[in-house]
C-alpha cells in the first residue's frame, strides 16, 4: 500500500506499505468489498473514504495500487477496493472530481463477513462535450510515479495534471539544469480526455512567520523545454520575474502562473509580462476550512486591508488585487490549484477549465490558458458572453454608440449557491440572489445585464457559495475585455496602489540586505523593481491622458 504524506521539511514522501498501519485503523470485525461503476456499468476510478465509529478511514486492505492521501483522509483507486471495518454501521463516500455527483452509501458490517457493494457514480455535467477541459495548476507529487498521476487524473477527473518535477526554494538546494529523463518534456497521454505533463517547476520562497512583503511568494512555470537554474540565489534573489524571463527565452510556449495575487512579487511579474494567469481559487481554500493570509503576503496598502486576511479577508483581497491588475490594463487570466501533496485537498478541488476546439492536446490547453480562455472554480460551472464574444475576447465599441454591451452569464452547480454576479472594472453591476434555490440535484441559473461602459475595461462573472466553515468559495471567469474608442485600460488609483506596493518592496530590499547573496544581486533586484515601477507610472499617465483621472 502506498501512503502519500509530507515530511517535516515539506517534501513529499511516497511510502510503500504492505499492511494496514495499526495506528490508523480500528479493530477489524468485518470487510466491505466495493466496486465503483459509471452510468454505463463500467468500473471507473474514483476517490473514496469510509466513516465508521466517528472516524474517517482511508487505507484499504486491497488493492496495493490504491493511493491513500493522509492529509485529506481519502484515497484514490482504480474502481475497486476492500477495507477492514468495525462491526456496525458505516458510510462509504465516493466522489470523482467536479462533474460527477458524490455518493454516500450506508452499510452494515457483520463480524467475519465480507459485504459486496456496487456503487454507481453519475455524471451531472459533461464539460469536455462543450469543449471545456480542466487542469489543477498546483500538483506536488507523482512526477516520478506516472502510475500514481494516471490514477489521480482519472479518479479526480482532472483532464490535465502538470506535476512539478522541481520545487525550488532558494535555500541551499541544487537547482538542476536538466530533467531527470529525456521523456520529461513529452506529455503522457492517458486517454482522449486525460493528459499528464512533468516539465513544470515551482519557485517558492515563503514563510508562515514572515511579515508583509518579506518573502517573494510562489510562481509556477509550466510547459518548459528545460529547467530554470541560478548560480546564485537567496530569499529575494533572483526575482521570480527575472527567472521567468530566462525561462521564456528557452521555452517560448511556457505559461507562468502566480499562486496568489497577494504574494509580494506578483506586482513585478504582472507589470513585466511574466505572469499569464493568477490563482483566484487557490490552495488556502480547503474542503472544510480556510487558511488565513500572512505568509509574507503584501500589505496592507489601502484602508481596510489586513495582511492577516482572516476569514473572508483573504477571499476579498484575492479578488480585489486581481481586479486592480486588470484595471491597470494587464490581461491576466484566472487559474486554480490545490497543492495536493502539501495541503489537505484532492487533485482538482480548486481547478481551472479552459476552452479549446477539437481534440484535447497539452499544447492546445496551454495555449487556451495563456490566452485567458478560462474560468476557475472550487465547484460551480460558469459561462460568460458579452455581445456574443467569449471569455478572453475583446468587445470594441464607440463612446457614442447608442446600444450597450449585452452581458450574459450562466451557472450550474451541485453546491448551494449564494449568488451569481457580473463584475465590471472591479464593481458588482448585476446580482442574482440564489440562497433560496436548493440544488435538485443542481442549481441552474442565468443572469443578463446591459453594460454602458464609459471607459475601456473588462467584465467577468463569478458565482459565490459557502464552505462548511461558513467562508466564501467561488467560481470566477477570466475577463472579456471592453475597448472604448480604442483607448487603453488604465486607472490612476489602481496604478498608485501598485506604486506603493513596489515602494514597500524596495524599502525591504534596502533594509534587509541579508536577503541577497551580495550587494550586486540586491542592486539587480532593485533594477527589476524600478522597471516595474516605470510600467505603473505609464499606466497612471495613460489614465490621466485618456480618462481624466
Distance from C-alpha of 256 to C-alpha of 162, rounded to nearest angstrom: 12
Query: What pLDDT band is residue 7 in, cutting at 50, 70 and 90?
Result: very low
Torsion of CA 195, 197, 202, 208, to 10 degrees: 40
Angle between helices 240-250 and 519-547 (to 10 degrees): 90
- Coil/strand/helix, residue 75: strand
Distance from C-alpha of 374 to C-alpha of 367, rounded to nearest angstrom: 11
Distances (CA, A) of 540 to 95, 271, 543: 49, 13, 5
Share of the chain above pLDDT 90, in %: 83
Average pLDDT over residues 481-490: 97
To the nearest 5 percent, what fractions of the chain are helix, strand and coil? Answer: 20, 35, 45
Distance from C-alpha of 210 to C-alpha of 431, rounded to nearest angstrom: 38
Give the side-chain half-sphere CA count within 13 A for 117. Answer: 25
* DSSP for residue 523: H
Average pLDDT over residues 184-200: 97
Query: What does pLDDT average to over the chain?
Result: 92
pLDDT attached to residue 8: 31
Distance from C-alpha of 275 to C-alpha of 219, rounded to nearest angstrom: 9
List the alpha helices (DSSP H) in 328-376: 362-370
Are β-strands 217-222 and 255-258 bridged in parallel, bridged antiparallel, or unpaired? antiparallel
Query: What pLDDT band is residue 171 in, cutting at 50, 70 and 90?
Result: low
Distance from C-alpha of 177 to C-alpha of 300, rounded to nearest angstrom: 38
Phi-psi region of 511 (alpha: psi -120 to 50; beta: other; left: phi over 0): alpha
Distance from C-alpha of 95 to C-alpha of 105, rounded to nearest angstrom: 12
Kindly report the pTM of this predicted structure: 0.93
pLDDT attached to residue 207: 85
Cβ distance 543 to 549 under 8 Å? yes
Burial of 174 (0-12, 13-18, 19+ CB in 10 A): exposed
Q: Mark 380-415 as b/e (b = at least 16 C-beta within 10 Å).
A: bbbbbbbbebebbbebebeeeeeeebebbbbbbbbb
In which element (H, E) is residue 77 found? strand 74-77
pLDDT tens digit string along 375-395? 999 999 999 999 999 999 999
pLDDT attached to residue 298: 87
Burial of 304 (0-12, 13-18, 19+ CB in 10 A): exposed
SS3 of 398-423 = CCCCCCCEEEEEEEEECCCEEEEEEE
Residue that wins the pLDDT comparison between 438 and 10: 438
Distances (CA, A) of 448 to 8, 330, 373, 429: 50, 26, 20, 10
Residue 425 has pLDDT above 90, yes or no: yes
Are β-strands 30-37 and 114-120 bridged in parallel, bridged antiparallel, or unpaired? parallel
pLDDT attached to residue 208: 83
pLDDT tens digit string along 270-321? 999 999 999 999 999 999 999 988 888 888 898 888 878 888 999 999 999 9
498608485: which residue's cell?
496
506578483: which residue's cell?
266
pLDDT attached to residue 5: 44
Mean pLDDT lowest for which of 86-100, 209-223, 319-333?
209-223
Average pLDDT over residues 223-245: 90
Q: Which of 479, 331, 456 is nearest to 398 (CA)?
A: 456
Cβ contacts of 235 within 8 Å, gap of 6 or more: 170, 171, 205, 215, 216, 515, 516
- Coil/strand/helix, residue 172: coil
Query: What pLDDT band is residue 523 in, cutting at 50, 70 and 90?
Result: very high
Distance from C-alpha of 230 to C-alpha of 204, rounded to nearest angstrom: 14
pLDDT attached to residue 75: 98
In which element (H, E) is residue 446 found? strand 443-451
Q: Which of 47, 104, 100 is nearest to 73 (CA)?
A: 47
Residue 22 has pLDDT above 60, yes or no: no
pLDDT tens digit string along 73-122? 999 999 999 999 999 999 999 999 999 999 999 999 999 999 999 999 99
Q: Which of 147, 228, 224 is nearest to 186 (CA)?
A: 224
Cβ distance 458 to 488 under 8 Å? no
Average pLDDT over residues 120-125: 98
Residue 218 has pLDDT above 70, yes or no: yes
Average pLDDT over residues 436-462: 96
Distance from C-alpha of 343 to C-alpha of 72, rounded to nearest angstrom: 8
Residue 263 has pLDDT above 90, yes or no: yes
Average pLDDT over residues 312-337: 96
pLDDT attached to residue 173: 64
Amino acid at each position: 500500500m502506498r501512503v502519500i504524506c509530507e515530511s517535516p521539511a515539506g517534501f513529499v514522501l511516497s511510502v510503500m506499505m504492505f499492511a494496514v498501519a495499526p495506528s490508523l485503523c480500528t479493530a477489524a470485525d468485518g470487510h466491505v468489498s466495493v466496486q465503483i461503476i459509471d452510468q454505463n456499468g463500467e468500473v471507473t476510478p474514483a476517490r473514496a473514504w469510509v466513516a465508521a465509529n466517528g472516524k474517517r478511514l482511508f487505507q484499504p486492505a486491497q488493492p496495493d495500487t490504491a493511493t491513500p492521501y493522509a492529509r485529506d483522509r481519502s484515497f484514490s483507486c482504480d474502481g475497486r477496493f476492500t477495507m477492514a471495518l468495525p462491526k456496525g454501521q458505516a458510510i462509504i463516500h465516493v466522489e470523482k472530481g467536479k462533474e460527477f455527483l458524490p455518493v454516500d452509501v450506508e452499510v452494515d458490517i457483520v463480524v467475519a463477513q465480507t459485504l459486496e457493494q456496487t456503487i454507481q457514480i453519475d455524471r451531472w455535467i459533461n464539460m469536455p462535450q462543450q469543449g471545456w477541459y480542466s487542469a489543477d495548476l498546483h500538483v506536488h507529487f507523482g512526477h516520478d510515479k506516472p502510475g500514481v498521476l494516471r490514477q489521480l487524473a482519472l479518479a479526480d477527473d482532472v483532464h490535465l495534471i502538470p506535476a512539478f518535477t522541481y520545487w525550488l526554494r532558494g535555500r541551499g538546494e541544487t537547482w538542476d539544469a536538466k530533467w531527470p529523463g529525456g521523456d520529461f518534456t513529452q506529455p503522457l497521454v492517458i486517454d482522449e480526455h486525460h493528459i499528464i505533463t512533468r516539465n513544470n517547476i515551482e519557485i517558492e520562497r515563503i514563510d508562515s512567520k514572515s511579515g508583509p512583503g518579506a518573502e517573494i511568494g510562489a510562481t509556477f512555470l509550466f510547459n518548459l523545454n528545460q529547467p530554470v537554474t541560478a548560480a546564485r540565489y537567496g530569499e529575494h534573489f533572483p526575482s521570480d520575474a527575472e527567472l521567468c524571463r530566462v525561462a521564456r527565452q528557452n521555452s517560448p510556449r511556457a505559461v507562468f502562473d502566480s499562486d496568489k495575487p497577494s504574494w509580494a512579487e506578483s506586482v513585478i511579474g504582472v507589470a513585466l509580462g511574466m505572469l499569464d494567469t493568477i490563482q483566484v481559487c487557490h490552495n488556502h481554500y480547503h474542503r472544510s476550512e480556510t487558511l488565513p493570509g500572512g505568509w509574507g503576503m503584501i500589505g496592507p496598502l489601502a484602508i481596510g486591508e489586513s495582511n492577516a486576511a482572516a476569514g473572508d479577508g483573504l477571499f476579498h483581497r484575492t479578488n480585489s488585487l486581481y481586479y486592480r491588475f486588470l484595471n491597470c490594463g494587464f490581461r491576466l487570466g484566472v487559474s486554480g490549484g490545490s497543492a495536493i501533496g502539501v495541503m489537505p485537498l484532492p487533485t482538482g478541488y480548486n481547478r481551472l477549465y479552459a476552452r479549446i476546439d477539437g481534440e484535447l492536446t497539452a499544447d492546445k490547453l496551454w495555449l487556451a490558458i495563456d490566452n485567458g480562455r478560462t474560468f476557475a472554480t472550487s465547484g460551480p460551472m460558469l459561462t460568460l458572453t458579452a455581445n456574443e464574444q467569449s471569455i478572453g475576447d475583446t468587445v470594441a465599441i464607440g463612446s457614442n454608440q447608442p446600444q450597450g454591451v449585452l452581458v450574459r452569464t450562466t451557472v450550474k452547480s451541485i453546491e448551494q449557491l449564494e449568488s451569481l454576479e457580473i463584475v465590471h472594472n472591479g464593481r458588482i453591476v448585476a446580482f442574482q440572489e440564489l440562497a433560496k434555490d436548493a440544488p435538485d440535484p443542481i442549481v441552474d441559473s442565468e443572469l443578463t445585464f446591459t453594460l454602458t461602459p464609459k471607459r475601456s475595461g473588462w467584465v467577468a462573472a463569478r458565482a459565490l457559495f459557502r464552505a462548511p466553515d461558513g467562508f466564501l468559495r467561488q467560481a470566477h471567469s477570466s475577463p472579456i475585455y471592453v475597448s472604448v474608442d480604442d483607448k487603453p485600460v488604465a486607472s490612476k488609483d489602481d496604478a498608485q496602489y501598485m506604486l506603493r506596493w513596489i515602494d514597500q518592496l524596495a524599502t525591504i530590499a534596502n533594509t534587509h540586505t541579508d536577503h541577497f547573496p551580495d550587494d550586486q544581486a540586491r542592486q539587480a533586484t532593485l533594477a527589476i523593481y524600478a522597471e516595474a515601477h516605470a510600467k505603473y507610472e505609464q499606466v497612471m499617465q495613460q489614465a490621466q491622458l485618456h480618462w481624466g483621472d
